[in-house]
Structure 1
Amino acid sequence: MNNIIKLLERTSALMEGHFLLSSGKHSNRYVQCAKVLSYPEYAEMVISEVVRKISDLDIDLIVGPAMGGVIVAYEMGRQLEIPAIFTERKDGEMTLRRGFEIRKGARVMIAEDVVTTGKSTMETKKVIEELGGDVIGVASIIDRTGGESELDIPLYSAVKIDIDTFEKENCPLCKEGSTPVKPGSRN
């Protein structure tokens, strides 16, 4: 766990500042996993921590929601020697495209970089289930749910990080005159 935190810090993936999250909440820290994943050897290391926790499960397919879950799904699939695909948004709706298929009854693990509220995980779960797949869990590099996600499936993560979040109206950083920046891929 400490090794993962050190890699996040070394690659500037664990950022300090004032951030506007996809949920509309504000935060004083943000994890941009794309920075650590841009180094293939680090991607292999951090994802191997998650793979170790799920390797005994009977998994047929890994599905990662775009953007954050694409590289994570690929590397999990590579390490587990099973196929990995991804969902993506079209007109604001999560969907499966590009000729990807999920066979009926397939045991599917969702792959994420960071799970905060679980919104994209649950959108991906809905797509998988509508196609007849059986979602057995979500595997992520970072669990930053703080126990407040909407997940109804097991969550396996390499590391848990507690990061303060604030409603805009109660944000101490805003009260100090700071303006939040919007990181990440979701508008």
Structure 2
Amino acid sequence: MAQVKKATLTGVLEIFPRIFEDQRGYFFESYRADWLQSEGVDHDWVQDNQSFSQKGTVRGLHFQRGDFAQAKLVRVIQGKVLDVIVDLRKGSSTFGEKYSAILDSSRNNLMYVPKGFAHGFSVLEDSIFAYKCSNYYNKESEGGILWNDPALDIDWQIDEPITSEKDAEWPTLEEFKISEGGL
């Protein structure tokens, strides 16, 4: 059975699967519904996504609004990333707080990110990143928070980040609070 650890932000979980290794290689269960169900989380995952990113890339901080809000179950298939989330849930006692964890293919650990969080990651080694989504992507519902917002003070552990133009144009957390108030 996997070890499930509750993070400091309510609803966020880190999952450490049991890995069986021998002279042939390794085996592990990369997903089991009962890991999450034991913590009161039950989703019908509808979309799987996978990306490759080179070392130094920062992706995020992204979210989906309204009817297209997504919970995510994220992991690294190859490489290592710093996975970062920011609580954007209206009325949450931890609104605006961040949480991060290293996801590493040598540990095969996962993070469960509930709806209402902005999500991003920095690539510490060339990485293949995969995640399950509880809802379909919808371009009109897409949003984000500026990845390098000084108020969030996220240490992405990257000296010269490679980012997209879109990620450089998202509002700061304060601008998001003023315009939307939360998710």
Give the structure-2-normalised TM-score: 0.29
- Ranked by relative contact order (alpha carbons within 8 Å, sequence separation 6 or more), the top structure is 2
